[in-house]
Structure 1
Amino acid sequence: MHLYGTQSVNELGHLTIGGVDTVDLAQVYGTPLLVYDIALFRERAIAFKETFKKAGIKAQVAYASKAFSSIAIYEIAKEMDLSLDVVSGGELYTAATADFPREKIHFHGNNKSYTELQYAFDEKIGCIVVDNFLEIEMIKEISEARQQKMQILLRVTPGVNAETHDFITTGQEDSKFGFDLKNGQADDAFLKLYNHPYITLLGMHCHIGSQIFETDAFRIAAEALMYKMIEWREKFKFTCSVLNLGGGFGIRYTVDDKPLAPSKYVEEMENVVLSMTRKHNYPVPEIWIEPGRSLVGDAGTTLYTTGSMKEVPGVRTYVAVDGGMSDNIRPALYGAKYTAVTANRMMAPHSDRVTIAGKCCESGDKIIEDAFIADPEEGDLIAVFCTGAYTYSMASNYNRLPKPAIVFCENGHDQLVVRRETYEDIIRLDVPLQKTGQEVSL
């Protein structure tokens, strides 16, 4: 049985996270409950930063907060001296509320609205990652009207097909993101921006996908961007000061996943950049990366309580829990795999093969189809590992189910950081029909 971070089993046979008994957590906060091992988040952040430090390369490690956004996680990222990758006005507002250093915020997105861009200027953030030609014109208009400077990166697609699920690969030529590096779009974008009086072009950005386990794709992408940077210097006497190679570093969801240590991905990028800068006498750019899943993914564990069970003879046994696709859409969306344990009976043999099903009215609401847990009993506490990324951030109120609470655990202490939604929260934005005294025929 593989445990993550600070997870362990106490003398009662209960799973603990951050030194806190998960059975106690479930009793205090209820279930479903998303629990974060904050020490593991800190450990991963330090590992990324230390690898750059050892190589003597100036760098920024930006938490890709689309994986999980909240005021509290932004506050932890600030404590760890990380930068922050946001992708919407809502994430930027959350960051501002957390008083995250504005100069370390990078704003992404393939369809930023004019209002969102104005908001970025209002907050005087550190960088906008420009994704398309319409955005270029909007940024020009806003900066000129305000006579306000803004730093930008150009997001490019380097034509790299990373080995991952089609829904989460983003670096290939056929992508909704960025300027194509091969068909001249990136050059056209560069020419529109590189000598603008209010816009400072720092360099280029790419993101080739998510949940990637090998380094070849990162190496090829780094080479492609470096060659373009060298070409721009030769043609236009322009030197890029920043090379942002994105994120997408894989984590271990099941025993079949074989992720590399954070340092391995970073070292491969460093080797490519240092080799090419030496060969072409190019100043070593500041390297930015954007880990999201690899910081919070396996730091998160979801706790569920079991309810009804159904045996289909010769086929499977269903064990239903009090959550499902409303708090974790990933299995239904793209077949994501997870590992689970019976958190209140960790010492019991985990040999019963069951399907852990959610409570949503969809046949596809299955969290794990082949879960090996202790002989299931009603009221068991099921812990599903590695749910820290793209679960709560993609959660919904499907079937009008409230979103779960979130707790941070560290050094034997637990703290509620996102309260559980109530039924009142769910109807808060509903507007009843106006009473006119006449029947309305629908």
Structure 2
Amino acid sequence: MSHEAGWAHAPGALSGPAWLRTPDDVNALMPRLWSRTAEKVDGELHVGGLAVPALVAEVNTPAYVLDEADFRARAAAFRDAFSGCDVYYAGKAFLCTEVARWVAEEGLRLDVCSDGELTVAERAGVDPARIGYHGNNKTAMELRRAVVMGVGRIVVDSFDEISRVVSVAAEAGLTARVMVRVTAGVEAHTHEYIATAHEDQKFGFSIASGDAFEAVRRLLAASGVELLGLHSHIGSQIFDTAGFEVAARRVLAVHARVSQELGVTMPELDLGGGFGIAYTSQDDPADPAVLAADLGAIVTGECRALGIEVPRLSIEPGRAIVGPSMCTVYTVGTVKQVALDGGASRTYVSVDGGMSDNVRPALYGADYSATLAGRRSEAPPVLSRVVGKHCEAGDIVVKDEFLPGDVRPGDLIAVPATGAYCRSMASNYNHALRPPVVAVRDGEARVIVRRETFDDLLATDLG
């Protein structure tokens, strides 16, 4: 039930969500929320063989801590599970030069959706032929650069873009390799803003209206383009394959129609990404091997029913690789006991970051977890709300979490599973400086994205 003042004030908010249980040990970690090397040692959080308190003493807080071994292991798990398929890491989740190199070294391809992301990929030395380029409004300049670089595939999203890419290819005297983004009309069980395959939204060509087939027909009739296949993406943070099954059935029906009516067998099919991860105890993500088996069975079964050859499958995990590999560490500045109606109270734990480094709770109402990271506590657990320092009532980092009742200013709080869409969506709201990304592995740390400075902040201010 909603409340006019927002979800934070809805009935039941004071008791926490039904899935949140009082922990037996408030100091313990829930392994599936954290990277593989994360552990508590005498109450201190360790990641990559390093004590987080010692690490942040060098780089300050807030800071993103990226477990390199975990990232590589998750990338390799998708590569191996989807052997025979093309796995594109979705750079929009989080991308920097070093991460782009890891992606290439682990044998994955890279999906970008802007000229800036393409620039990072180029700087990292990623083979352009292993890059896919997304976006619903790519300019002629962006398309020209992609074609000239030899990007492996451009996912076209509109009739206007078809005209642009054909024109750009002709001007350059080159062939543009393209896929057609289609809208399958699937309602993914996720937040409205990250469900991307229903009809009423900006992405792709509608299958139901016939636009998808018309887009294929125009591309096949054009010169200077090579049509690879159809691309579908049904949303993000998805935990089952039911939506993929419906999408595959509808997309493959178009694939078969193209073969039957236009005499062309498209060699590829992309089912996108959106595989969910565990942010809290309520989340139960699937293993890559299970996803591979399920998606493979879905595609094979549909192709058999349609009497067509199985196209080469590609997928685009982003969150599922980088999400659990990173945590964010904050310093507590203020702890308040706020009296509420009926004699109840709420504990507010204010930290030195917030919606500038993780906008997802404010934007989507996303849930996160947290732990005391710098010491062991013997105090009983208290239902708390971790909030940021920005001038917004909705600046909430963790809506509901049990923390020790003796949390105090100066304590470190760590939030797991912040690798996806936290640093990549970070802002300078209230003129905050975006935090660094520190990669840790085998007891060593290195800053791969430095903290912004006030000189950075003012560099574009010409006043």
Shorter-chain TM band: over 0.9
Shift of 1:417: 0.2
Tell me, yes or no, if structure 1 residue 394 matches structure 2 residue 425: yes
1:275 match: secondary structure: helix
Q: Is the 8 A contact 1:62 1:290 kept in 2?
A: yes
Among 191, 216, 220, the residue aligned to 2:242: 216
**Structure 1, residues 392-439: CA drift from partner, whole Å, max 9, x if none?**
11110000010001011122221110000011110100112xxxxxxx
Aligned partners of 1:326, 1:78: CA distance in 2, in Å? Answer: 30
Could you say which residue in structure 2 is the equivalent of 1:92? Answer: 118
Q: Is the 8 A contact 1:6 1:19 kept in 2?
A: no
Tell me, yes or no, if structure 1 residue 120 matches structure 2 residue 151: no
Aligned partners of 1:231, 1:125: CA distance in 2, in Å? Answer: 28
Shift of 1:222: 1.1
Q: Is the 8 A contact 2:187 2:198 kept in 1?
A: yes
Among 88, 91, 107, the residue aligned to 2:133: 107
Aligned partners of 2:312, 2:39: CA distance in 1, in Å? Answer: 43
Q: Is the 8 A contact 1:300 1:388 kept in 2?
A: yes
2:86 match: secondary structure: strand
Could you say which residue in structure 2 is the equivalent of 1:418? Answer: 449
Instruction: Provide the aligned C-alpha RMSD in A.
Output: 1.4
* Cα distance change on mapping 1:350 and 1:99 into 2, 3 Å: farther
Gaps of 5+ in 2: 1-28
TM-score by length of 1: 0.94
Could you say which residue in structure 2 is the equivalent of 1:82? Answer: 108
Aligned partners of 2:251, 2:293: CA distance in 1, in Å? Answer: 17
* Amino acid aligned to 2:431: R
Shift of 1:347: 5.7
1:339 match: secondary structure: coil
Q: Is the 8 A contact 1:63 1:83 kept in 2?
A: yes
* Amino acid aligned to 2:353: G
1:66 match: secondary structure: coil
Tell me, yes or no, if structure 1 residue 238 matches structure 2 residue 276: no
Could you say which residue in structure 2 is the equivalent of 1:429? Answer: 460
Q: Is the 8 A contact 1:240 1:285 kept in 2?
A: yes
Aligned partners of 2:251, 2:262: CA distance in 1, in Å? Answer: 16
Q: Is the 8 A contact 2:63 2:436 kept in 1?
A: yes
* Amino acid aligned to 1:336: A
Could you say which residue in structure 1 is the equivalent of 2:224? Answer: 198
Shift of 1:225: 1.2
Q: Is the 8 A contact 1:38 1:410 kept in 2?
A: yes
Matches within 5 A, 1:369-380: 369-374=399-404, 375-380=406-411
* Cα distance change on mapping 1:11 and 1:277 into 2, 3 Å: closer
* Amino acid aligned to 2:375: R
Could you say which residue in structure 1 is the equivalent of 2:3? Answer: none
Matched positions, count: 428
1:393 match: secondary structure: coil
TM-score by length of 2: 0.90
Shift of 1:350: 6.4
Could you say which residue in structure 2 is the equivalent of 1:227? Answer: 253
Shift of 1:323: 0.4
2:179 match: secondary structure: strand
Could you say which residue in structure 2 is the equivalent of 1:155? Answer: 181
Shift of 1:41: 1.5
Among 215, 218, 223, the residue aligned to 1:189: 215
Tell me which stretches of 4 or more aligned residues in structure 1 moved more than 6 Å: none
* Cα distance change on mapping 1:325 and 1:11 into 2, 3 Å: closer
Among 62, 76, 98, the residue aligned to 1:46: 76
2:87 match: secondary structure: strand
Could you say which residue in structure 2 is the equivalent of 1:2? Answer: 30
* Cα distance change on mapping 1:346 and 1:64 into 2, 3 Å: farther
Could you say which residue in structure 1 is the equivalent of 2:193? Answer: 167
* Cα distance change on mapping 1:27 and 1:201 into 2, 3 Å: same
Q: Which moved more, 1:297-306 or 1:339-348?
A: 339-348
Could you say which residue in structure 1 is the equivalent of 2:45? Answer: 15
Q: Is the 8 A contact 2:248 2:302 kept in 1?
A: no
Aligned partners of 1:160, 1:426: CA distance in 2, in Å? Answer: 42
Matches within 5 A, 1:295-334: 295-313=321-339, 314-334=344-364
